[in-house]
A and B are shown apart, each in its own frame.
Chain A
Amino acid sequence: MSAASAAPFVTAFQARRPAEGDPRWLRQHRETALARFAERGYPTRRDEAWRFTDLQPLTAKPILPATDQARGAPILPADARLAGPSHRLVLVNGRYDTRLSAPGALPPGVWLGSTAAALEMRPNVARAALDDVASASDQAFAALGLAFFSDGFILALEPGIVLDTPVEIIHLGEAPTPRAFHLCNAVIAGEGSRASLIETFIGSGPCWSNVTTILDIGAGAVLRHAKVQDEAPEAVHLSRSFARLHRAARYEGVTLTTGARLSREDIRVTMAGEDARLSLNGAYLLRGQQEATIAPIVDHQAPGATTVERVTGVMTDRSHGIFLGTVMVRPGADRTDARQTNRNLLLDAGATATTKPELTILAEDVKCSHGATVGDLDAASLFYLLARGIDEPTARLMLIEAFAADGIDQADVGDALSAQLRRRLDLWLDRAERRE
């Protein structure tokens, strides 16, 4: 990207600066990040990791950060929330919304709030997280996000704290004209702590959500983390998370992608401690012209750690699902056990799947496997259902549902989160059914 096309961002940055009450270190981070973005620009198809991503919706015309609040009083749809109790934060157009949020009473040892609030109330926690974002900002969208982020959430658990009630973060984007919302989030799970977290992105209009999340999972801690991305069909959603798992830490991640015209989940996990356990499940269910990427890069640096990735894609119409999975086993990360599977269902002639599971093994005594499939519905299964009297559209939908659910049903994220994932999956199936 040329400096000329970065110019609108630079202008926007200068225009917003006086309005912000950032601490000095943060102003520095933002400026450095902006400079880096201006110099680097968006990734292009020449960057290996972005080879399959069509950034045209972003590059056609710069989408600048939102400066205004959402007008009126946005409504939170019931099906975007957990059915049961939760600690709920709602961000509307990239800013914490007091009216819709219901953080509830948090047990001692837990801090949960917006990133803006953390900068005031927990400056050390916020700073540590944003320092991490800064060091990840060689990546263009992380840099742009740091330069412009308006808010986000931070969850910090002291060692040994068990938070039973799930934390739920809902991002609501509503923009009649193209607007960008940049968010920086962090979860700091102290040693032996446990929590479950669900993030939901919904909205209407041509929003661009650009999200960076830092996850630090302490020794023996367990974080269950579900993400539902069901943004508007004209939206763009780019997110990246940087997770660090310490000794015997456990991270159960699951993503369900059904929204946005263009979306990307870059998940970078460092297996820093011995015997850490990672499970990444996911499903992208696409239609129309949607393009979605799930790109986990797992870096095994310590021995005895386990990674299980299981991602399924269902593509109809002219949509394109992309899985770019990399597992890297560093020297010394002996006894690593890593499995990657990506299964894809193509339901129309114009739909495409790109699948690239990759392994680099530089250690001893490791068990690694990967597999990918791309195909149509199983003809024998379909006939079996028909032969019992179930009509063809229903039978097809049953099989699609089974396939789609496979990626998310395996996720061990607890009943409340599983039920919500299931509910969002059913919503997608209803939409698919209505069209048939």
Chain B
Amino acid sequence: MAKLLEIRDLHVRIAGGREILRGVDLDVGAGEVHAIMGPNGAGKSTLSCILAGRPGYEVTRGSVLYQGRDLLALSPDERAREGIFLAFQYPVEIPGVNNTYFLRAALNAQRRHRGEKELDATQFLKEVKARLKLLDIGEDLLSRAVNVGFSGGEKKRNEIFQMVMLAPKLALLDETDSGLDIDALRIVSNGVNRLRDPSRGIVMITHYQRLLDYVAPDRVHVLSEGRIVASGDSRLAGELERRGYAHLGSAA
């Protein structure tokens, strides 16, 4: 059976600009949790954006297969409806678009795609309420415009809330742990752990060991200067915490 995600020799550059990813190889199987670490500017967010389909990048070489299909041929919204979810490093504020309305539109778009019945406002609200409690999110955040005026931590929690609502096949979390207080980190980690199941894959981009204490990864990778320069099991994260990235540079 095909892997959930197979990235082969992926080269990506900023449209009309320099090359950011310079030959990334990465496999994520169903049921696996991977962590990607690495120095600032290494290309971690670029990788997650490419997977989600953000415009402005050019793939110059390599391939990405998702459930055996060419992922790069799909539009961003098709990818999402096929089960890919990106929790943004910097969630954007969208004035005038109500959070609840937005999320219901998203959920129903995905349900339609899967041939399921759309949820009406009441059914949707029931689903929402159950999960809000789980993530300790105040109901007032939902009645506001998407991310507008949310604190840094609230934005991150809102991303995880959306993830839990949309129940993706492949979740990409780009520094979802950054900017969270200790309690919030635990709550968010619980959200991620609940999603963990044999049919799903999770890729967490992070700078900190702490998230990995809560959500134990199957694999840890180091992305540096556009390449994966080291991979290992969860012990690699602890080693990085102690020794930093510098010693890997020469190894690469």
Of A35-43, A46-54, A177-185, A378-386, the one touching chain B:
A378-386
Q: What is A's interface to B at a CB cutoff of 8 Å?
A: 378-381, 383-392, 394-395, 398-399, 401-403, 405-406, 409
Considering the complex, give the chain B residue whose CB is closest to the CB of A409.
Answer: B96
Partner of B52 from A380, A387, A399, A402 at Cβ < 8 Å = A387
Partner of B97 from A380, A391, A398, A409 at Cβ < 8 Å = A398
Q: Could you tell me the distance between the alpha carbons of A19 and B59 in the complex, rounded to whole angstroms?
A: 78
Partner of B80 from A378, A386, A401, A402 at Cβ < 8 Å = A386
> Is B53 touching A388 in the complex (CB atoms < 8 A)?
no
1/0 contact trace for B149-169 toward A, CB 8 Å?
A: 000000000000010001000
Interface of A, secondary structure class, is: helix
B41, CB-defined interface residue at 8 Å: no
List chain A residues, Cβ under 8 A from B162.
Answer: 388
Of B5-13, B103-111, B217-225, B227-235, the one touching chain A:
B103-111
Partner of A386 from B77, B85, B88, B146 at Cβ < 8 Å = B77
> Is A406 touching B166 in the complex (CB atoms < 8 A)?
no
B200, CB-defined interface residue at 8 Å: no
Chain A nearest Cβ from B29, distance in angstroms: 23
1/0 contact trace for B53-81 toward A, CB 8 Å?
A: 11100000000000000000001110111
> Is A398 touching B102 in the complex (CB atoms < 8 A)?
yes
Contact A388 B91, CB 8 Å, known A402-B96, A405-B96: no
Considering the complex, give the chain A residue whose CB is closest to the CB of B98.
Answer: A402
Chain B nearest Cβ from A382, distance in angstroms: 9
Q: Could you tell me the distance between the alpha carbons of A197 and B85 in the complex, rounded to whole angstroms?
A: 48
**Number of B interface residues, CB 8 Å?**
30
B92, CB-defined interface residue at 8 Å: yes
1/0 contact trace for B84-98 toward A, CB 8 Å?
A: 011010011011110
Partner of B110 from A389, A399, A405 at Cβ < 8 Å = A389
> Is B54 touching A383 in the complex (CB atoms < 8 A)?
yes
B3, CB-defined interface residue at 8 Å: no
Considering the complex, give the chain A residue whose CB is closest to the CB of B82.
Answer: A389
> Is B81 touching A389 in the complex (CB atoms < 8 A)?
yes
Considering the complex, give the chain A residue whose CB is closest to the CB of B95.
Answer: A402
Considering the complex, give the chain A residue whose CB is closest to the CB of B80.
Answer: A389
B129, CB-defined interface residue at 8 Å: no
List chain B residues, Cβ under 8 A from A386.
Answer: 53, 75-77, 80
List chain B residues, Cβ under 8 A from A381.
Answer: 92, 94, 97
Contact A391 B96, CB 8 Å, known A383-B55, A385-B102, A398-B102: no
